[in-house]
A and B are shown apart, each in its own frame.
Chain A
């Protein structure tokens, strides 16, 4: 071309046009050959699946390969992407979704009714469903269809992790901490010892929502056939669970205020400005000594710089607390069935494709599959003892510290791989001695509340979603304002706060939850 400007403008135009065309192109999820299917899943889970030795064995044993379509990292973004994929007709063969989505989109023809196919192609899964009425009630729609399978999860609770070495140096006897008052006194002793030379020392610290102690005061959200108290929906069964109408909730606010006023709890955590990294730094560099967080976090600090920072560094796990009469204060737990990690199948899949998907899932409900997913391969990752029990022969710490992206043996069933039964014994055995001991000591029925997944209708789900969006943050902010002293903590003010929350919709939330419970589990 004679004029270079013309050439440049033409090239620029073409580039823009091609760029746009690329943006508009839709991902094609072809039927593919037999023995494969595509699945949309949270990217972090996809990365973890790719590291699992036992997963490769499962694909080999079944002859089925899953082509994962990685989604966003955040759960809520994943569900939004499912919506977008439904709108743009780019849904892969299977998707990670949540029960509220499948309950709505299933009857509208987006997801396949798996019930007849399970009966036909997945005998082990069918047996599992038949054997557990709770699970059956959860995954079965009013019309008898099954639009999604929920992931089974190990039952665990948050642990109170603490710095054993710091407790010892401060002369605090961890075994003597039985009640909340003992706990507060231990914090006082720690503050007196370490706080005198360190203005940034606050014994109790943590991440995310600070309102996580309700169960210690008998004020956790709860539900039964006759009553619903507090917000009891996804994400609030365990963390952020609080029934502000319970007497104990006031006591909780009072105690937390004492911690705050005396500098026993990190004020940045209370304020909501303490990031996860800030908390980790505080626990690693000695600016904090105690936390109440995910069950295996104590070990995390041991594996991620604790002993490097301080040769004496040693984490431990406290006993759960008891009331003044010595009765266990039951703590909130994870759900046995995770309604936010479900697998649904695209209704456009052929019967062959559905058969492939269910055959793969069904494998994990077979005896062979259960052993593989929970213990691995005999002789390679576990050995059978003389009494018939199984014992891991690979080292937990070594395997779990393998660099990201490399293959390893790992059996952390709290994350989603495929929907499969969980062996709680294996799950807690696959932990460091520190956590395995704590799990054996603490995760016993008398210490744990039972959690229930509720199944909502479309209208209930929408109303609830809007109400929770208004009430939950207001509730958390309200409690924090009492703790920090921004709002005076008196019986009258607390009653006013309860009234404000009911006016915003808390009582309506409880009504909807109760109706959902009764519809799912009956009225008795």
Chain B
């Protein structure tokens, strides 16, 4: 193997400075940067920028005075949260719903992708994957309408079957104990196909030689799935788990508002619906600062949870997101 070495007599190669390298890179890839620019601006303006607006949680915000001139309130809004007699109920409802979403919803796409991977017929596999993916594009309003129609007390398919079997019709959409299962059901229906894509992509990256070796050792399909496929996608699973935990307080507000009625209030009222009422359905003057303080606190707890899960994942499975 030839090695390129510098002659001791030749002058040292001058390494370009960072600005020079950046300029060269910009000149070389300017079209790519240009393409990236709108997306980058959107990220700055609509994702990163608004984080700064959380400052209003520390203010007595007024739209007229704006973020720079509203009166500073210190931690008063946060103190109020802990004195709000209703906040515990909201936190309980939110956490139960979020934990259910993680515990029940999270494994479904993993199981689905594992089994889909075992389907030998490519056309059938593609068709099943496409069909599972479609609900992701259906709006929450349509999903809830479909569910309400299926579960209608007077004319829904489910109740027709119950009555035909000699039972009594149940207004599922008005039963507090049914709210959470139905919410989770919709979550699974809408997202499992989309989430499965990530696992399916991870499965395709597994070295086929591992399966061939396992086959030669006499492993059946279950053993291959358990000992090769599942460990092969474990990093993806952990990354997705950490992301899910980060979203633990982010329930689907649209869906809840659509499913919300006075009968399911005891289980359906969550932090987001409360904040929504304070700000967007205010009977008086909307308290933007307090609503933001509630959300900031929610984000902080989510951040702590994500960091914790990330550390645990690092220690237990030697995988981490950051």
Q: A462, B171: Cβ atoms under 8 Å?
A: no
For residue B165, CB closer than 8 A to chain A, the reply is no
Q: B280, A464: Cβ atoms under 8 Å?
A: no
> How many residues of B are counted as interface, with CB atoms below 8 angstroms from the partner's CB atoms?
42
Closest B-chain residue to A199, C-beta based?
B154
Q: A473, B285: Cβ atoms under 8 Å?
A: no
Q: A474, B284: Cβ atoms under 8 Å?
A: no
Q: Report chain B residues within 8 Å CB of A503.
A: 85
Q: Report chain A residues within 8 Å CB of B85.
A: 470, 503-505
Q: Report chain A residues within 8 Å CB of B279.
A: 80
Q: A272, B66: Cβ atoms under 8 Å?
A: no
For residue A434, CB closer than 8 A to chain B, the reply is no
Known contacts A458-B285, A480-B263; A273/B278 CB under 8 A: no
Q: A462, B64: Cβ atoms under 8 Å?
A: no
Q: A480, B283: Cβ atoms under 8 Å?
A: no
A481 to B262, CA, bound (A): 9
CB distance from B295 to the nearest CB of A (A): 14
Q: B285, A461: Cβ atoms under 8 Å?
A: yes
For residue B269, CB closer than 8 A to chain A, the reply is yes
Q: Report chain A residues within 8 Å CB of B93.
A: none
Q: A469, B34: Cβ atoms under 8 Å?
A: no
Which of A8-16, A163-171, A251-259 is the contact stretch? A8-16
CB distance from A108 to the nearest CB of B (A): 4
Which B6-64 residues have C-beta < 8 A from chain A?
Answer: 31, 34-35, 37-39, 41-42, 62-64
Which B132-179 residues have C-beta < 8 A from chain A?
Answer: 148, 153-154, 171, 173-174, 176
Q: Report chain A residues within 8 Å CB of B261.
A: 271-273
CB distance from A117 to the nearest CB of B (A): 20
For residue A314, CB closer than 8 A to chain B, the reply is no
For residue A200, CB closer than 8 A to chain B, the reply is yes
Q: A104, B285: Cβ atoms under 8 Å?
A: yes
Question: A108's contact among B64, B263, B278, by CB below 8 Å, is which?
Answer: B64
Known contacts A20-B42, A504-B85; A465/B283 CB under 8 A: yes
A105 to B70, CA, bound (A): 12
Scoring A residues 75 to 88 as 1 if CB is less than 8 Å from chain B, else 0, what string do you get? 01101100110110
Q: A465, B287: Cβ atoms under 8 Å?
A: yes
Known contacts A233-B283, A465-B282, A465-B285; A16/B38 CB under 8 A: yes
Q: B31, A76: Cβ atoms under 8 Å?
A: no
Q: A268, B265: Cβ atoms under 8 Å?
A: no
CB distance from B171 to the nearest CB of A (A): 5
Interface centre among A105, A458, A473, A503 (most CB of B within 10 A): A473
For residue B86, CB closer than 8 A to chain A, the reply is yes
Scoring B residues 259 to 294 as 1 if CB is less than 8 Å from chain A, else 0, what string do you get? 001110110010000100111111111110010000
For residue A298, CB closer than 8 A to chain B, the reply is no
Known contacts A6-B31, A76-B282; A272/B64 CB under 8 A: no
Question: B263's contact among A84, A272, A456, by CB below 8 Å, is which?
Answer: A272
A109 to B38, CA, bound (A): 36
Q: Report chain B residues within 8 Å CB of A200.
A: 154
For residue A476, CB closer than 8 A to chain B, the reply is yes
Known contacts A17-B38, A456-B284, A477-B266; A268/B63 CB under 8 A: no
Question: B280's contact among A10, A16, A80, A87, by CB below 8 Å, is which?
Answer: A80
Closest A-chain residue to B291, C-beta based?
A466
CB distance from B202 to the nearest CB of A (A): 30
A320 to B53, CA, bound (A): 53
Q: B284, A100: Cβ atoms under 8 Å?
A: yes
Which A285-318 residues have C-beta < 8 A from chain B?
Answer: none
CB distance from B126 to the nearest CB of A (A): 28
Known contacts A86-B63, A268-B171, A474-B265; A462/B277 CB under 8 A: no
Q: Report chain B residues within 8 Å CB of A109.
A: 64
Q: B287, A462: Cβ atoms under 8 Å?
A: yes
Known contacts A272-B262, A461-B284, A477-B262; A13/B35 CB under 8 A: yes
Question: B284's contact among A86, A233, A267, A484, by CB below 8 Å, is which?
Answer: A233
For residue B122, CB closer than 8 A to chain A, the reply is no
For residue A184, CB closer than 8 A to chain B, the reply is no
Closest A-chain residue to B177, C-beta based?
A486
Q: Report chain B residues within 8 Å CB of A105.
A: 62-64
Q: B263, A473: Cβ atoms under 8 Å?
A: no
Known contacts A13-B37, A273-B173; A477/B265 CB under 8 A: yes
CB distance from A81 to the nearest CB of B (A): 11
A368 to B154, CA, bound (A): 55
For residue A449, CB closer than 8 A to chain B, the reply is no
Q: Report chain B residues within 8 Å CB of A100.
A: 284-285
Q: Report chain B residues within 8 Å CB of A469.
A: 274, 277-278, 281-283
For residue A222, CB closer than 8 A to chain B, the reply is no
For residue B3, CB closer than 8 A to chain A, the reply is no
Which A1-54 residues have C-beta < 8 A from chain B?
Answer: 6, 9-10, 12-13, 16-17, 19-20
Closest A-chain residue to B176, C-beta based?
A486
Q: Report chain A residues within 8 Å CB of B66.
A: 87
Known contacts A268-B174, A473-B265; A9/B31 CB under 8 A: yes
Which A444-495 residues have C-beta < 8 A from chain B?
Answer: 456, 458, 460-462, 464-466, 468-470, 472-474, 476-477, 480-481, 484, 486
Closest B-chain residue to A271, C-beta based?
B174
CB distance from A98 to the nearest CB of B (A): 9
Q: B148, A273: Cβ atoms under 8 Å?
A: yes
27 A/B residue pairs, CB under 8 Å, sorted by A: A10-B34, A13-B34, A13-B37, A16-B39, A20-B41, A76-B282, A77-B280, A79-B286, A87-B63, A100-B284, A104-B62, A110-B64, A233-B283, A268-B154, A268-B174, A271-B174, A271-B261, A271-B263, A273-B261, A462-B285, A465-B285, A468-B284, A469-B281, A470-B86, A472-B283, A474-B265, A480-B262
Taking Cβ atoms with an 8 Å cutoff, the residues of A that contact B are 6, 9-10, 12-13, 16-17, 19-20, 76-77, 79-80, 83-84, 86-87, 100-101, 103-105, 108-110, 200, 209-210, 233-236, 267-268, 270-273, 456, 458, 460-462, 464-466, 468-470, 472-474, 476-477, 480-481, 484, 486, 503-505
Beyond known contacts A10-B31, A484-B263: 20 more, CB 8 A cutoff = A6-B31, A9-B35, A17-B37, A80-B279, A83-B63, A100-B285, A104-B62, A105-B62, A109-B64, A209-B262, A267-B153, A268-B154, A271-B171, A271-B173, A272-B261, A273-B263, A469-B278, A469-B282, A470-B84, A473-B277
Identify the 6 closest CB pairs spanning chains A and B, nearest first.
A272-B261, A271-B174, A477-B265, A461-B284, A465-B284, A16-B38
